[in-house]
Every structure is written in structure tokens, then in C-alpha cells.
Chains A and B, each alone.
Chain A
Amino acid sequence: MSVDRSHIAKNFIDVLPHSRALGMKLEVLEQGKAQIVMPYAEHLIGDPDTGVIHGGAISALMDTCAGAAVMSHPEAGAATATLDLRIDYMRSATPGEAIVAKAECYHVTRNVAFIRATAHDGREDVPVATATGAFTIEGKS
């Protein structure tokens, strides 16, 4: 059952047009945990003086990764939508480095899934950003 669900979620990520446009690649997806990498690209630059990636692109990465974590959770449904997402920016991402996001769906109720996520640019001990959020549970059988 959980294998089927992971398969659904994996295909789903591949067909998310915006995630695909940002070059995201799903690296891990299992039992409420997801890891997605987004390569550095010049068109994602938010600070022209330093070449640092825009927070908006990191938001999109965090949102996608958190949604994937929810869908891979054994107690969640096959679809989900973001209710809210809070992102804290710890430091600027290093220009030129890919961003790796890890999300964990740590609690699921009948209607809501709760997630936390972190993003780093190669050094896992010093995150670029962290996030917490709530997602809807849909299509639960």
C-alpha cells in the first residue's frame, strides 16, 4: 500500500509544471519523508549584488518538498494542498550551490498533516532556511 502511494507521489512530482521549471529533482521519498534538490540557476537570483537565490524560489522548493512528504505518509491521502507555510531564512544561500530541501510529515490527523522542513546548500549543519506548515488531507480512502 505504502509502495503504491510513493509511486503516485513520485510521478506526481514529475508532472508538477512549476517544480519541473525550477529544475527540482526528487531524491528521497519514503513514509512521510522527502528530499528534493534544486540546482542553482542565474534566473533564480534575487540579490543582484551578490548572486544569492531569491527566497521565493526557496519557498517553492520547501512547499513542493513538504507536499511530497505529506503524500508519502502512510496515513495521508493521495492528494494534498498547502494550508499555511512559514519559512525562516537563517542565512543567504551560497551563490552557485544547489539547494537541498528535506521535509518530514511528523503528524497526521483525519483532516490535517503537519510538516517541518529544512534547506541547506551543501553543509547540512548550517541550514539556509527552515519551515513549518500545515497541509490538507484529500482523497483519503
Chain B
Amino acid sequence: MNGYVRRKTPEPVQVIKERRDEALKDLVARVPYIGYMGIDFDRRGDELTALLPYREDLIGNPMLPALHGGALSAFLEVTALITLSWSVFWPKLEDGDKINSSMPRLPRTIDFTVDFLRSGLPRDAYARAQVVRSGRRYASVSVSAWQDNHSRPIVQANGHFLMPAPSEAQ
């Protein structure tokens, strides 16, 4: 009888990172619209930052020029949905669930309210979402985007989402 419990050797950090990045990539790659918009996600631990690289066809007002309000709404909605899905998925991933076979269905947007604070300049935009409340059926998510200066957000939004029923999980 030993006086201590034998612990598992921790996994190498590179293995952990690869598993997390792979899972995030799989989650994002399933949605054609995210690929079309060119939206990418940067991960640090469980925190995600979305990136919308500037493209000419994202312009809505060619006179100013300014990014299309609809493109920015879409960017925020994508960021909210992926962040919400990721926040539910993360603990399962860390528990070592078989990820590819149990990729969750995405939550569905119930409503989405966007405030336009400043016009979007013709350059890259970034966004982060915060899951304010996440329950079994409903979730509330807050999200905002900025460009060069994080303290000057260009657009912010709040949305409610319907979580996929457990039986819907694949």
C-alpha cells in the first residue's frame, strides 16, 4: 500500500494545442457561410477572437467608404454562434470525448439586436463574444467588434439563441 495516488503523466503541450485547434477548425469548417465571409478564429486557451479580413465586396457605402452594416451584423452573429457552441463543446473536449463523432449541432438564433456605433473602415475587423447566460434550452450572448483600437468598438450586439436538444447531437 503506497501512501499516494499515482497520477497520469500530463500530455505534452503541443498535443493538447493540436487537439483544441483541430476541434475548433472542424467546428468552423462545417459552416459554408463562414468560409464565404472569410472569417477566421484565433484561440488562446478557451478564449476566441474572430477576425474578418478586409475585402472589397464587404463594402456597403462606396462613397465613404464603409463596411456594409449587414456584413458586420453577420460577422457578429457568426462570432456569437461559434463562441457559444465552443463554450458548450470545450468541457467535453477537455474530458476527452470523441470529438469528431460528437460534433454538436449549432444553436439557432432567436433574435439578434445590433447597435452601429461607428462606421466600419475598409480594413480588418475583430470581434469577441461573451456568453452571458447559457442554459439547457436558451442562451444569451453579447458580442462586439473593433478595428484598430479595441477601446473604440464599431458595432455591438446582443442575441438570444436556442440550444440544440440533446437528442439532436450527432
Contact = CB atoms under 8 A, between A and B. Distances in A.
Interface stretch (B10-18, B87-95, B114-122, B138-146): B114-122
Interface in B1-15: none
B112 A86 contact: yes
Given A16-B60, A81-B61, A59 B77 contact: yes
A140 interface: no
A57 B112 CA distance: 13
B106 to A, nearest CB: 6
Interface string B28-48: 001111011100000000000
A43 interface: yes
Contact of B111 (A56, A67, A87): A87
Given A56-B37, A89-B108, A89-B109, A63 B32 contact: no
Contacts of B73: 56, 59-60, 63, 85, 87
The residue among A53, A55, A84 with the most chain B CB atoms within 10 A of its own CB is: A55
A130 to B, nearest CB: 10
The residue among A43, A59, A62, A85 with the most chain B CB atoms within 10 A of its own CB is: A59
A48 B69 contact: no
A42 interface: yes
Interface in B55-108: 56-63, 66-71, 73-75, 77-78, 105-106, 108
B33 A85 contact: no
Nearest to A86: B113
B68 A16 contact: yes
Contacts, number: 130
A18 B68 CA distance: 6
Given A17-B57, A17-B62, A84-B113, A60 B70 contact: yes
B105 A43 contact: no
A133 to B, nearest CB: 9
B110 interface: yes
Interface in A1-50: 15-21, 42-49
A82 B60 CA distance: 11
Interface of A: 15-21, 42-49, 53-57, 59-64, 67, 79, 81-89, 92
25 contacts: A16-B59, A16-B62, A16-B68, A18-B67, A19-B70, A43-B33, A45-B32, A46-B106, A47-B105, A48-B30, A49-B105, A56-B74, A56-B78, A57-B33, A63-B60, A64-B70, A79-B63, A84-B113, A84-B114, A85-B73, A86-B113, A88-B110, A89-B108, A89-B109, A92-B108
